[in-house]
Amino acid sequence: MVRGLLQGLGHRRELITETLIPGSANTRRWLNVGCMVAHAPKERVVGYVRVSSDAQAEQGVSLDAQREKLKAYALALDLELVAIVEDAGYSAKTLKRPGLQVALEHLTEGRASGLLVAKLDRLTRSVRDLGDLVEGYFAVPFSLVSVADSIDTRSAAGRLVLNVLTSVAQWEREATGERTREALGHLKGRGVRLGGAALGWARTDERDAEGRRVVVELDDERTTIERIVTLRREGRTLAGIAAILEEEGRPTKHGGRRWYPVTVSRVVRRAEAAASSAAGTPAAT
């Protein structure tokens, strides 16, 4: 009887020890436990695969390769793979992917209790999106299993790995932000114009002695600025100036015909700041 049960349990035979004596109370107790485990339902998971380009398929991360990994992993962990959902040609920069939404619906609608991916970057490359997924799905009650990253949030160790990866990625993003701010501050200190050219100006391909692109005035746009300043001095409202510019058919910086009060306000502030700087007096706020 013990031998037959061992054969039926397969890889779960560790539940039965060789030291048990047939007919004893211990034997009956362990046989009952073994039968309960043998008939325990498998955990249901939904697989998710993604590639963003044809080049990735040539580098060994094709959809078929990912599917095979998920099937093999599910078999090894005795998981029931209810479905494999794909996103072909979608970037991981956003969570607005049709396949991913279907996979998440499998969780929320009770068809699966966990999400299985070949690698975490197949799910997302965004630290913010990963945090949203963990908070909304994988903290509780659903699990996340990533084959290549050895992440399995069904265990405390798996949750620890995921938290460490999330924390490191968050640190990297913040460090990158700090370096960017320092670099921009340095450029501003050197007088480098940042962002797009304002109305009345344009950047050329010519470079100055320090490698910066030369900025030149545009006569047509300067005329529009002068017109705005004149109307403002006459007491016109920002909305009124915008309406007049549209009636006169004056184009915006990007060639549009629609003017907004906030756009007029920016032009007025820049003109006042330039005039105050030239006169050596602080601009009005």
Q: What does pLDDT average to in each consecutive run of 10 residues of the chain (285 residues)?
A: 45 41 48 49 91 62 86 93 91 88 94 93 84 83 89 86 76 79 72 68 76 78 92 93 93 88 90 75 47
Catalytic annotation, residues: 52
**pLDDT at residue 279, rounded to an integer:** 63
| pLDDT (0 to 100) of residue 181 | 81
With H, G, I as helix, E, B as strand and everything else as coil, classify residue 58. helix
Question: Which two three-digit tokens encode residue 214?
Answer: 């030369």
What integer pLDDT is reported at residue 233 of this predicted model? 92
What pTM was estimated for this model as a whole? 0.49
With both helix axes pointing from N to C terminus, report the angle between 2-9 and 25-38 in degrees, rounded to the nearest 10: 20
Percentage of residues in the chain having pLDDT higher than 70: 75
Report cis status (omega within 30 of 0) of the bond before 282. Answer: no
